[in-house]
Amino acid sequence: MIPPLELSLDECLDLLSGGVVGRVAMATAAGPRIVPVNYAVHDHAIVFRTTPYSEMSTHGWDTELAFEVDHVDYETHQGWSVVALGRGGLVDDPEEIAEIRRSWEPRPWAGGTRNLFVRLPWRSLTGRRIGNDWSPATLQPYRRTL
C-alpha cells in the first residue's frame, strides 16, 4: 500500500484550474448537502452558477462552503483530491460577471436557467494523491484547455 502524499499549492492550483466539474458542500437546516457543479477558477476564487431557488441560493450566501474536485482511477488504484474552504458569496457586479464570461464562463450541464454566479474565494487549498504514475495524462485525463 502506498501512503497518500500531500500536494503542493502549485499542484493544487494546477489541478483545480484544469477541472470542469466539482462538488460544493454546504450546511442546511436538514443537515450537510453536497451538490455537483460546473465551475471555473477566476481571480483566486472558484466560480459556479445556480438558480435563485436552489439550496445554494438559500444556504450558500455569506456562509462557509467546501469545494472538492478529484480524479480516481479504479483500475490502477490511483487518485487525487483537491479541497478548497472559504466563504461563499454572490457575484452581483456586472463588470465582474462580464470578466468571468470572457475568461472561462462556467456552463452548467443541468437544464434550466442558472443566472446567479457564486464566488468561493479559498482561504485554504489542500490536496492529496495516491499512486505511482503521475504523468500529466494520469493526473487529469480530461482537462479543460483554453
| Residue 128 pLDDT | 96
145 CB burial (10 A radius; 0-12, 13-18, 19+): exposed
pLDDT digits (tens, 9 = 90+) for 56-109: 777 767 889 999 999 988 888 899 999 999 999 998 898 988 888 888 777 766
d(CA 52, CA 107): 16
Determine which of 80-84, 112-116, 119-123 has the lowest per-residue pLDDT on average.
112-116
* Residue 143 pLDDT greater than 60, yes or no: no
Question: Percent of the chain scored above 90 by pLDDT?
Answer: 47
Rounded to two decimals, what is the model's pTM?
A: 0.85
The grid coordinates listed for 8 are 503542493
